[in-house]
Amino acid sequence: MPLQNEFKKKEEIIYMMQLMLQLFLIAAILIYISIIVLLLKKKTIILQYSLVWLGSAIVLAFIAIFPSSVAYFASLIGIEVPVNAVFLVEGMFVLLILISLTSIVSKLSQAQRELIQAIGLLEERVRQLEKKK
């Protein structure tokens, strides 16, 4: 039956594509993790701030190795092509990392303000003490 053969061929192609995608994702995540570990080793990023990066790497690695998990998630919320769910998860992690960056910057700017004020106050005190001498 030629029609059935055709159908089988198509399915095979889809399967191959998925396999390729899976391999690509695994490779990409391995590179991603090794970059993070390298930066951590060189101490260019502090472990505390890399936790959200590592967390995202672990979740994405899990998805790449067990694609059926994301397929279930995708069907649950009505995404037709499972790979779109992978993009969605990635996008969410990007947002999460951006929020954590904003909070880090806010903390830094607060600390910086306190320091600037303390320097100003100290400088004034030094000036007064020098005057008294």
Partner 1 sequence: MKVLVIVPAHNEDKSILRVINKLIVDCPTIDYIVINDCSSDETEKVLNNNNINHITLPVNLGIGGAIQTGYKYAVANGYDVAVQIDGDGQHDTKYILDVLKPIEEGKADLVIGSRFITKEGFQSSKMRRTGIRFLKVLIRLLCGIKINDTTSGFRATSKELTKYYSLHYAQDFPEPEAIVAAIVNGFTILEVPVVMFERMDGKSSIRASKSLYYMIKVSLAICLCRMSLKRKKR
Residues making contact with partner 1 (CB under 8 A): 112-113, 116-117, 119-121, 123-124
Q: Which residue, 65 or 116, is less far from partner 1 as judged by CB?
A: 116
Confirm if 62 and 69 have CB atoms less than 8 A apart: yes
Longest dimension (CA), the chain: 106
Q: Which residue, 95 or 122, is less far from partner 1 as judged by CB?
A: 122
CA dist 88 and 60 (Å) reads: 11
Confirm if 61 and 34 have CB atoms less than 8 A apart: no
Closest CA to 60 of 81, 86, 82: 86
Q: Which residue, 20 or 105, is less far from partner 1 as judged by CB?
A: 105
- Least distance (Å) from partner 1 to the CB of residue 119? 6
- Least distance (Å) from partner 1 to the CB of residue 97? 24
- Least distance (Å) from partner 1 to the CB of residue 116? 5
